[in-house]
Amino acid sequence: VTVPTDDRGLTLGDGLFETLLVERGRLQFWDAHLARLLAGCVTLGIPDPSAANLLTAAGDALERAGLQDSRAVVRLTWTAGSGGRGLDRPRAPAPRLFAAAFEAPVASSRGVSLATVAVRRNEGSAASRLKTLSYLDNVLARAEAARAGADEALMLNNRGELACAAAANLFWIEDRRLFTPVLECGVLDGIVRGAVIRAAAGLGVECLEVRAQRQGLGAVPMFITNSLIGLRQVDRLDGEALPADPLADRLAEAIAAA
Amino acid sequence: VTVPTDDRGLTLGDGLFETLLVERGRLQFWDAHLARLLAGCVTLGIPDPSAANLLTAAGDALERAGLQDSRAVVRLTWTAGSGGRGLDRPRAPAPRLFAAAFEAPVASSRGVSLATVAVRRNEGSAASRLKTLSYLDNVLARAEAARAGADEALMLNNRGELACAAAANLFWIEDRRLFTPVLECGVLDGIVRGAVIRAAAGLGVECLEVRAQRQGLGAVPMFITNSLIGLRQVDRLDGEALPADPLADRLAEAIAAA
């Protein structure tokens, strides 16, 4: 599968994507992924795809990869389409859809290590709340974390506030309450992030969406979430060991059952 | 010309570009564009292209478009290459080069209007100093300016400091001195920006690279610069008329002669 080199997704990062976990052909959290993609189209000001076309593209990609009966990952990409030179979109953008399927990463309950990185989230752009094709800062953050010997990056915004990982959301536990950075901090509006917030309410656990400075964060239980890994404990932050908390396991069970 | 849909330039905005003005086959400011592209490869951590390959690609693109004897624009794109799923690059990235040529925009001495937009530059990412394929914030800024009835955006960073336009650098004149936002404000390291700073020195005019808040900027003479338009006066900022200054014309002449 190819796209023309004048596609604005390629030339300018002008577009959106979704990465979904698939269990034997069933797209997990499909409604939430679809809703986020459609909301992103409004923010970007591009026409939106139909749910039917997205589902067909996902199914075709799974079949091409021979993964229709497996635990798999589908990535759906929706670009702003072909667009000549320069920043201005054509009067009638014709977005382009493509999909790819991959084997799902091996499920693991091993904890992950995080390293605070220098590259910051752009809290001043609506794009920081979306999965857009302009994802270079995330690539650079992950690479910086890897150079520091960590699995994932802890990204702050330009105010020094906690935001998220390069490809995951961030939670921590203090005084039996759950905390996560509020979206305004430049946080991707993660599907599992939303599921965890709802699951916490279901368990009677208070979850606060907050603006919090990195230096205010002690060695407390912490976990990260995304659509592929679900919920994973952080066992090490900037070289310091973090304690575990059974609440993380209860939340993991609750979202798996959702 | 097409690229595979697993190209990281397309899936993640992982790559760089340069847009050059070409006069009858001669690439303007070629050395500066090449140096910026190579420096960007170091920042991104991807292999760099050879100057010979870039020049060949540019020449081929001009020929395909029948523009080898015209005033034209060449865009060179250097992606991180194909890369599977996820943020991590393959162990040995194989970047991909492509080029496209366009007719040059009609030269104009008409002033441009600017509107201050809500979307901010990410001063906390090295990518904000580079021409990367993650250019969505610039697209959104330009669209926001257009909705406000302006030609171009005035972008601030997350600290509220002046940064640049969506596709140009920014200068203003006060007390016979020239001012421009310092790169640390999240400013693209523009080729013509550099040429203007050198030209000012040649004219014996002091040029200060500064951190300046939007609210401190009065109705002073202002101009924007980029490789395609050269230097253009701003005649209107957020609806307010700005005065002209003959220094802008002298600088325009100096960079045209460079």
Q: pLDDT digit string (tens) for A60-98?
A: 999 999 999 999 999 999 999 999 789 999 999 999 999
Tell me what pLDDT residue A106 has.
86
**More confidently predicted of B182 and A256:** B182
Q: What's the whole-number average pLDDT of chain B?
A: 96
Confidence of residue B205 (pLDDT cuts 50, 70, 90): very high
Say whether B120 and A124 touch across the interface (CB within 8 A): yes
Q: How close A248 comes to chain B (CA, Å)?
A: 25
Opening angle at CA A123, ends A120 and A125, nearest 5: 115
Residues of chain A below pLDDT 70: none
- Whether B55 and chain A come into contact, CB under 8 Å, resolves to no
Q: pLDDT digit string (tens) for A185-220?
A: 999 999 999 999 999 999 999 999 999 999 999 999
Strand partners, B225: B169, B231
Residues of B in contact with A123 (CB under 8 A): 120, 158
Suggest the residue from B41, B139, B155, B156 to mutate for an interface test with chain A (most A CBs closer than 10 A). B139
- Whether B103 and chain A come into contact, CB under 8 Å, resolves to no
Instruction: List, as ranges, residues 115-144 from A with C-beta within 8 Å of B.
Output: 118-127, 132-140, 142-143
Q: How close A204 comes to chain B (CA, Å)?
A: 35
Say whether A79 and B10 touch across the interface (CB within 8 A): yes
Q: Which of B2, B121, B142 sits opposite A2 (nearest CB)?
A: B2
Tell me what pLDDT residue A258 has.
73
Suggest the residue from B7, B136, B144 to mutate for an interface test with chain A (most A CBs closer than 10 A). B136
Tell me what pLDDT residue B133 has.
98
Total Cβ atoms within 10 A of residue B133: 31
pLDDT exceeds cutoff 90 at B168: yes
H or E stretch including B192? helix B191-202
Give the 3-state secondary structure of chain A. Answer: CEEECCEHHHHHCCEEEEEEEEECCEECCHHHHHHHHHHHHHHHCCCCCCHHHHHHHHHHHHHHCCCCCCEEEEEEEEECCECCCCCCCCCCCCCEEEEEEEECCCCCCCCEEEEECCCCECCCCHHHHCCECCCHHHHHHHHHHHHCCCCEEEEEECCCEEEECCCCEEEEEECCEEEEECHHHCCCCCHHHHHHHHHHHHCCCCEEEECCEHHHCCCCCEEEEECCCEEEEEEEECCEECCCCHHHHHHHHHHHHC
Q: pLDDT digit string (tens) for B125-158?
A: 999 999 999 999 999 999 999 999 999 999 999 9
Total Cβ atoms within 10 A of residue B51: 13
Q: How close B146 comes to chain A (CA, Å)?
A: 9
If you ran DSSP here, which 8-state letter would residue B149 be given?
T
Residues of A in contact with B89 (CB under 8 A): 139, 143
Contacts of A34 (CB under 8 A, 6+ apart): A51, A54
Say whether A125 and B139 touch across the interface (CB within 8 A): no
Say whether B10 and A6 touch across the interface (CB within 8 A): no
H or E stretch including B202? helix B191-202
Residues of A in contact with B226 (CB under 8 A): none
